[in-house]
Amino acid sequence: MFVLSMVLAEDLTNILFHSAFACYVKNREGRYLYINEAGGRMLGLKPDQIIGKDDSVLFTRDGYTTIAKEDAMTHYSSQPVTYISTAKASGLAAHPNFRAIKSRLPYRDWE
């Protein structure tokens, strides 16, 4: 069993928070448990406006469908998966050519 020390957990939180890349954690139901400032900017919202919501309220219908498929493939994978995604956030209507390269990995609570 892997146990994070409080110092390591704080260091990882700081790394995620200050990353220039969007970093987020979602639960099995697809609700955001964590998202950093860069992720909020990507969606056109502040992180506290995103936490607890799922993609159905944050993305266009097509974007939500794309992300739901990516989530399902990631969930059933045992390894990291990389996608080039065109899923567009509802708040980014002014960016018609939005593309994102996503590297995702399933979080497993092994206990």
H/E segment holding residue 57: helix 55-58
Amino acid letter at 109? D
Q: Which residue shows structure tokens 């220039």?
A: 20
Q: Which residue shows structure tokens 């219908």?
A: 61
pLDDT digits (tens, 9 = 90+) for 5-45: 777 778 777 887 888 888 888 888 889 999 999 889 888 88
The structure's pTM equals 0.74
